């Protein structure tokens, strides 16, 4: 099954995709994770992406489309994959349709005020990309999977979160109608716990 996770920043796309990877055995393809890795490694893509990612704007379409196209051609995508954070514009969706067949688009829905609280408390592992909220860590500052020191993403400051929400509303939210028109949209209300939301996501995929 080829799945897209849609939804505003902080809705839980990465959290749910990581759980689903364990359950379905198909890879999570996060353009945000790929861009941050390229930035850490100082590659040409990373240098090009840096100013957009750190300000909460969108990296140019041609850059992200190229990295997704290359990634989907890898062997581990043959039996399905989950796209997390891509597409993010109607143009990206139209280009994706030229090289991939998407079965379902799951839209994770969450009000803005909850988003700001979730993102400002997020901590991530720079080594294995595991995601936590400070409320789950009990004061610990290390990753439960690999022991690396957790970090706060630069774009998780309140000002940048507000910009990301604006960019989402203007450029990404139109994808909800785009996939609804194709008859493959499933909407999940993500105000519950991680486990409650995971049950709703699985139910949406079975529908």
**Number of C-beta neighbours around residue 95 at 10 A:** 19
Examine residue 58 and tell whether it contacts ligand AP5 (CB under 6 A): yes
Our answer to whether residue 153 is catalytic in this structure is yes
Residue nearer to ligand AP5 on the CB measure, 26 or 160 = 160
Nearest distance, CB of residue 185 and ligand AP5, angstroms: 17
The Cα diameter of the chain in Å comes to 47
**What is the C-alpha separation between 134 and 138, in angstroms, rounded?**
7
Please list the residues that pair with 151 across neighbouring strands: 124
Residue among 56, 93, 129, 150 that touches ligand AP5 (CB under 6 A): 56
Residue 13 found at the interface with ligand AP5 (CB under 6 A) = yes
130: its two tokens: 């595991």
Shortest separation between residue 14's beta carbon and ligand AP5, angstroms: 3
**In sequence order, which residues have a C-beta less than 8 Å from that of residue 115 and are 6 or more positions away?**
8, 9, 10, 11, 161, 165
Q: In whole angstroms, give the CA distance from residue 45 to residue 41.
A: 10
203 catalytic? Reply is: no
Residue of 69, 153, 154, 180 marked active site: 153
Tokens describing residue 26: 């198909």
Stretch touching ligand AP5 by CB under 6 A, among 19-27, 51-59, 140-148, 177-185: 51-59
- Residue 125-164 contact track with ligand AP5, rule CB under 6 A, x = bound: ------xxx---------------------x--------x
Q: Specify the stretch interacting with ligand AP5 by CB under 6 A; choose among 8-16, 38-46, 73-81, 180-188.
A: 8-16
Contacts to ligand AP5 from residues 163-182, by CB under 6 A: 164
Q: Is 45 in the site for ligand AP5 (CB under 6 A)?
A: no
* Member of 3, 6, 12, 179 binding ligand AP5 (CB under 6 A): 12
Catalytic sites, residue numbers: 13, 88, 122, 153, 164
| Residues at the site binding ligand AP5, with contacts judged by CB under 6 A | 7, 9-15, 31-32, 35, 52-53, 56-59, 64, 85-88, 92, 118-119, 121-122, 131-133, 155, 164, 192-194, 197
């Amino acid at each position: 099954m080829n799945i897209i996770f849609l939804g505003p920043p902080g809705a839980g796309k990465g959290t749910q995709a990581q759980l689903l990877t364990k359950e379905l055995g198909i890879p999570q393809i996060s353009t945000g994770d790929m861009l941050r890795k390229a930035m850490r490694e100082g590659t040409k893509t990373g240098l090009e992406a840096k100013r957009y990612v750190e300000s909460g704007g969108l990296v140019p379409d041609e850059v992200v489309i190229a990295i997704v196209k290359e990634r989907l051609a890898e062997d581990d995508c043959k039996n399905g994959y989950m796209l997390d954070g891509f597409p993010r514009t109607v143009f990206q969706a139209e280009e994706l349709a030229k090289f991939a067949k998407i079965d379902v688009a799951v839209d994770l829905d969450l009000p803005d005020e909850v988003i700001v609280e979730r993102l400002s408390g997020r901590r991530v592992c720079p080594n294995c990309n595991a995601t936590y909220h400070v409320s789950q860590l009990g004061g610990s500052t290390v990753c439960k999977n690999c022991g690396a020191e957790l970090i706060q993403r630069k774009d998780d400051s309140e000002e940048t979160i507000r910009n990301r929400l604006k960019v989402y509303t203007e450029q990404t939210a139109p994808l909800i109608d785009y996939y609804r028109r194709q008859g493959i949209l499933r909407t999940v209300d993500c105000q519950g716990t991680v486990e409650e939301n995971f049950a709703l996501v699985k139910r949406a995929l079975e529908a």
